[in-house]
Amino acid sequence: QKKVTATHQDALRSEALAKDRFEQLETEIENFTNDKCPTCGQDAKSVVDNLKDRHADAQGEYQRKHDDAEILKGRLDDIELGISALDGEVHAALMENKRIESEIHALELELSGLQSKNARLAEMKTEYDALASKTFDISLNTAEAELQLQALSQRMRTLQAEKDEKLSFDTRIIAAKEAAAKAHRAKESAEWVKQSLAILTDIRWKIVRSSIEPIRKEASRLFALTLDADSKAEFDFQFRDLRGNEVFKFGWKTKGVLGDMFIDFDSLSTSQQVFTIAALLIPMIQRANPKFRFLMMDNVEVIDDSRRFTFSKMLEAAEMDNIVLASSAEWPRMDFVTVHSLGVTEEEVAQLRDNLQFFSSGISSGISAKTPK
């Protein structure tokens, strides 16, 4: 497992180096316009052809490195699935061990009862032998003696059945002890699996951190544009809470007299949540590398008036192809912002919301209505 992880890390580094070579050659090729040298303007077709050949080789190498990294990642995923299955088996073995221990305890109680019955059986057998050896008077009532004999015979059959049950119980005790020993071995295996699972979990989070670190850096850069110069807050992810439990959250990390403090996204104000999620969405869109990078957000009127200008400056620095914001409040006019007014007042917006609420309540109450256009 460690070897696969190390190989995967090497593959990721090789993939990154191949990508850098591929992009560097691509940049050099773009510098040549119509196969002309960008410096002297002379024909440089042979140089361009050579660069294109090297570019194709680098692109192929990058694709091979990328495929190798994906294969290794798949192997790591298979290992995690295997460990998850083992964890389930260990849990089942532990539950079975508890069940066997409970059964052993019950059998021990039953054995104690049978031992008491066995002692009573010995006493009754002594009593029976004494009665069997006793010489009865010829004048004894035959009918009464017959009844006593039948009762004693029934008691002997009962005691013999209890004796047979005790022998069966001893066999069950031996089987239960063997099962308990097997469960103990399974418990030791469970401890080993837990240790292995902890190691693989740590490896998994390291892979996650390395994957989202570029997103965090770009989000932090954009996020900083919306803050005051003396602010000590920055965008960050959290992978463990204060109790050490695994979590995956994002929000603000602030510095104070007591040290670093993480503020979860759900704990921010609505205004703070809007420009925080924008700072996160932009690098995620960029990492996806779509043909057209487009961001659309509504209800941005919740952003404080004092932060609308800095929020717009952050979007300007986002390098997106197009950004559309919908707001029911006035938005600051800037050179890089085009404001389209729909000619609807805030009172009309409020009235429209009341109508929509009335329409929704009518539908939930079974009232037939048509949606206004």
- Asked if the structure places residue 218 within a domain, the reply is no
DSSP annotation string for 177-223: HHHHHHHHHHHHHHHHHHHHHHHHHHHHHHHHHHHHHHHHHHHHHHH
Mean pLDDT score of the chain, rounded to an integer? Answer: 75
Residues 49 and 132 in one domain: yes
pLDDT digits (tens, 9 = 90+) for 80-95: 787 788 888 888 888 9
Residues 80 and 184 in one domain: yes
Of 182, 212, 242, the residue that ends a domain is: 212
pLDDT in the model for residue 253: 87
pLDDT in the model for residue 139: 52
The count of structural domains within the chain is 2
pLDDT digits (tens, 9 = 90+) for 8-40: 576 677 767 767 776 777 677 666 655 566 565
Of 179, 212, 245, the residue that ends a domain is: 212
CA distance 27 to 58: 13
Q: Cα separations (Å) of 318 from 146, 162, 309, 354?
A: 109, 86, 15, 36
85: left (phi over 0), alpha (psi -120 to 50) or beta: alpha
Q: Looking up tokens 């088996």, which residue turns up?
A: 89
Cβ atoms of 303 and 311 within 8 Å: the answer is yes
Which of 45-54, 264-273, 291-300, 325-334 comes out lowest in average pLDDT?
45-54
- Asked if the structure places residue 349 within a domain, the reply is no
DSSP annotation string for 259-299: EEEEEEGGGS-HHHHHHHHHHHHHHHHHHH--SS-EEEE--
Instruction: Report the amino acid identity of residue 340.
Output: H
Checking if the pLDDT of 161 tops 70, the result is yes
The dihedrals phi and psi of 326, each to the nearest 5 degrees, come to: -115, 125
pLDDT in the model for residue 190: 63
Checking if the pLDDT of 368 tops 50, the result is no
pLDDT in the model for residue 367: 30
CA distance 214 to 220: 10
- Asked if the structure places residue 219 within a domain, the reply is no
End-to-end CA separation in angstroms for the chain:
61
CA distance 15 to 311: 36
pLDDT band at residue 145 using 50, 70 and 90 as cut-offs = low
Residues 138 and 281 in one domain: no
pLDDT in the model for residue 360: 43
Neighbour tally for 253: CB within 10 Å: 17
Of 170, 186, 212, the residue that ends a domain is: 212
CA 168-151-123 angle, to 5 degrees, is 55
pLDDT band at residue 364 using 50, 70 and 90 as cut-offs = very low
pLDDT digits (tens, 9 = 90+) for 201-210: 666 666 666 7
Sheet with 234-240, side-by-side order of all strands: 234-240, 246-256, 259-264
CA distance 189 to 195: 10
Mean pLDDT to the nearest integer, 163-175: 76
Q: Cα separations (Å) of 323 from 118, 140, 238, 314?
A: 90, 117, 29, 12
- CATH number of the domain to which 333 belongs: 3.40.50.300
CA distance 304 to 312: 12
**pTM: predicted TM-score of the whole model, two decimal places:** 0.41
- Asked if the structure places residue 293 within a domain, the reply is yes
Return the higher-pLDDT residue of 178 and 297: 297
Mean pLDDT to the nearest integer, 29-54: 64
Element (H, E) at 105: helix 45-133
Residues 156 and 285 in one domain: no
Q: Which domain holds residue 246?
A: 225-341
Checking if the pLDDT of 133 tops 60, the result is yes
- Asked if the structure places residue 350 within a domain, the reply is no
pLDDT in the model for residue 266: 92
Residues 196 and 231 in one domain: no
CA distance 356 to 223: 35
Residues 38 and 79 in one domain: yes
Cβ atoms of 8 and 72 within 8 Å: the answer is yes
Neighbour tally for 15: CB within 10 Å: 20
Residues 327 and 180 in one domain: no
CA distance 128 to 140: 18
CA distance 47 to 337: 44
- Asked if the structure places residue 64 within a domain, the reply is yes
Mean pLDDT to the nearest integer, 139-150: 69
Instruction: Give the β-pairing of 246-256 and 234-240.
Output: antiparallel
- Asked if the structure places residue 109 within a domain, the reply is yes
- Asked if the structure places residue 217 within a domain, the reply is no
pLDDT band at residue 369 using 50, 70 and 90 as cut-offs = very low
Which tokens hold the place of 224? 């900083």
Checking if the pLDDT of 212 tops 60, the result is yes
pLDDT in the model for residue 42: 58
Residues 201 and 249 in one domain: no
